[in-house]
């Protein structure tokens, strides 16, 4: 396995691309258009978020993970109700399709592959970074990412416009009452309405956390004789909630942003204010 070259001591920045593209699409006016009259709000909003995050975190490298929306994952095959009912506007899907081009034009890396979700690439990149004794910052709007929090990895979660909370193991314990490694077990017991996971019958977040503090894990809870009729389902929910650290991610050597190339792409798309911002960054590069 190739090993990434670390020369700066700065963190790896890993971003859930779909999470923030969706937020941008719904937050910005639909009047933002790109060449040919196509939608541009999600692109502009995501780009502004990416640039702001790069400036604040000063990472050694950036990886953006993306969902593949037209191919089911093992989660969908194992549990047909997973994420049921989600529908996306055609304009959003169009922008999601080309946003990786902008990320790569900035000199950053993308990860996208059939059968995997953005979450899986986040987990795989963090695992690789921690194996190398390095640190990572993970930006995600999904609390499933709490399972990645460690002494080496911080989760950035949006709390209100322009503000991000920094989540480490102490914050996971404070918010959920469990350790980061117990988060998939917690989700399995409590359920997750956003992913359509029902959870254990009659169990809410406080009960789920209490059971995990008492028994240590979902397997410990099941071994105590609780939820015998639901055991198979709960194990499935935990598997669904567990990010796949074996997802394919590129080797992430230290990167130097290519703002001028990104500015040229923004000009091509006729997103001129974004192009101007990128040109300013390019002019300021040493």
pTM: 0.92
- pLDDT digit string (tens) for 159-209? 877 789 999 999 999 999 999 999 999 999 998 887 778 889 999 999 999
Give pLDDT, residue 161.
Answer: 72
What residues form DSSP beta bridges with 192?
Answer: 197
Task: Find all residues with CB under 8 Å of 283, minimum gap 6, and list them.
Answer: none
Give pLDDT, residue 86.
Answer: 64
Give pLDDT, residue 1.
Answer: 43
Give pLDDT, residue 8.
Answer: 63
- pLDDT digit string (tens) for 217-236? 999 999 999 999 999 999 99
* pLDDT < 50 regions, the chain: 1-2
Which whole-number Å values give the CA distances from 68 to 73, 93, 106, 119, 189, in the listed order? 9, 11, 21, 12, 27
Distance of alpha carbon 226 from alpha carbon 285, whole angstroms = 60
Closest CA to 67 of 14, 128, 111, 126: 111
Q: List the domains of the chain with CATH numbers.
A: 12-169+248-276 (3.40.50.1010), 177-241 (1.10.150.20)
């Amino acid at each position: 396995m190739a090993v990434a070259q670390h020369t700066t001591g700065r963190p790896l920045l890993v971003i859930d691309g779909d999470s923030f593209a969706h937020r941008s699409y719904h937050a910005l006016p639909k009047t933002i258009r790109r060449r040919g009259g196509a939608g541009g709000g999600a692109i502009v909003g995501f780009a502004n978020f990416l640039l702001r995050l790069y400036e604040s975190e000063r990472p050694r490298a950036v990886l953006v993970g993306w969902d593949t929306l037209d191919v089911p994952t093992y989660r969908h095959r194992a549990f047909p109700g997973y994420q049921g009912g989600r529908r996306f506007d055609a304009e959003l899907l169009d922008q999601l399709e080309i946003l990786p081009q902008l990320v790569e034009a900035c000199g950053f890396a993308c990860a996208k592959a059939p059968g995997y979700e953005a979450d899986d690439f986040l987990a795989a990149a963090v695992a690789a970074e921690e194996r190398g004794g390095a640190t990572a910052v993970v930006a995600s709007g999904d609390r499933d990412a709490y399972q990645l929090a460690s002494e080496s990895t911080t989760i950035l979660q949006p709390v209100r416009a322009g503000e991000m909370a920094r989540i480490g193991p102490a914050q996971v314990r404070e918010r959920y009452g469990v350790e980061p490694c117990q988060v998939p077990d917690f989700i399995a017991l409590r359920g997750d309405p956003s992913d359509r996971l029902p959870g254990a019958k009659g169990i809410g977040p406080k009960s789920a956390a209490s059971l995990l503090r008492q028994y240590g894990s979902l397997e410990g809870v099941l071994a105590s004789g609780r939820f015998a009729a639901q055991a198979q389902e709960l194990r499935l929910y935990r598997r669904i909630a567990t990010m796949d650290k074996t997802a394919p991610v590129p080797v992430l050597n230290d990167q130097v942003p290519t703002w001028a190339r990104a500015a040229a792409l923004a000009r091509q798309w006729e997103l001129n204010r974004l192009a101007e911002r990128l040109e300013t960054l390019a002019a300021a590069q040493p």
